[in-house]
Amino acid sequence: MYGARRTSVDCFFSSSPFSLSLSLSFSLFLAYLSLAVVSDDQVVEYSIQYDGDGVEKSSNIVDIGSGCYLDDESEGDSFDVDTHGCRITFTIEKEMKAPVYLYYQLDNFYQNHRRYVQSRSDAQLRGDATASTSDCSPLTTSGTGVSKYNSTAEDAIGQNDTDYTLMPCGLIANSLFNDIFWVNKLVADGKTYYQGDTYNGKTLVNLVDQTGIAWKSDVETKFKNIDLADLSDADNTMMMWQNPRYRYIIPMYEGQEPIANKTAWTTAAPAFGVQDEHFIVWMRTAGLPSFRKLYGRIDTDLAEGTELEFLVSSSKFSSSSFTR
């Protein structure tokens, strides 16, 4: 994320669960990472700001490279945690019973803006390769100068002078949140566990389960990938996994293997394209300018005194800003 955006990490361990800009512009909004235990007894919250103006030096946050704050647009979309990353550590002060839900939260981002909400093609999202893109106005193509990639492959494909048709099109789909959070280290009962270690039956990097986070009705009826063979001009179409902003967020096929500390998925991809649950969650727009969206779930208890460290890859947010 870049520019005037301020980003924070909030960990909520709870016992219970307008201007319009269409340019590549600076955004001023707040983002948080949150953890919540859903029950009726208590609410415990932790918050650490890691990006933007006003970031305070803290022993709980360690910069990697130049840190998570990006000075300008040119630093975005690198998905290089060694250049633009940070490590954030939270100490659990009370035992948290599973499931522990991981959210990101955005403040001052107007997903309820009329023009933003309407900029989508539900027919296209349901898998209709012939669907009109008129409902996606004002964002139906990539514009020239955007390179197309074969997912996580290093080299671009095609020519960057092509104005690619975006698949899916629209402002909502093409403003997908694209920071990445990985569990990096856990300290419990005097023992330290790293990403490749087994903790309570799971490899630590997979402690956060990213499945089952979207509404069941959305998964089953509202999102279906279009077969590239059904497209009339696939060469001039840019799928999400071909888009430089999302190729490490959205897999290109089911079972695609992860790349350590590079891809948002940490296991063989359970879904791809518009059927990826992070994408489905984002597409259910929020009614208020401050909102949380589910990122994953921890299915093991976190004991009092546990230290949980997240590795954060900071990236440019996306093409359109809806902030006040």
Domain ranges, ordered by start, for the chain: 6-313
Q: How far is CA 238 from CA 148, 151, 164, 252, in A?
A: 7, 11, 6, 12
Residue 1 confidence (pLDDT): 38
pLDDT for the residue 195: 98
For position 20, what pLDDT does the model report?
31
Q: What is the pLDDT of residue 15?
A: 29
Low-confidence residues of the chain: pLDDT under 70: 1-33, 35, 38-46, 51-55, 316-324
Q: What does the pLDDT read at residue 82?
A: 94
Cα(122)–Cα(35) distance, integer angstroms: 31
Tokens linked to 131: 């669907």
By the 10 Å C-beta count (0-12 exposed, 13-18 middle, 19+ buried), 22 is classed as: middle
Q: For residue 324, give the amino acid letter.
A: R
Helix (H) or strand (E) holding 49: strand 43-51
Cα 94 to Cα 11: distance, rounded to the nearest angstrom: 13
Q: Rounded to the nearest 5°, which phi and psi values hold at 274? A: -70, -10
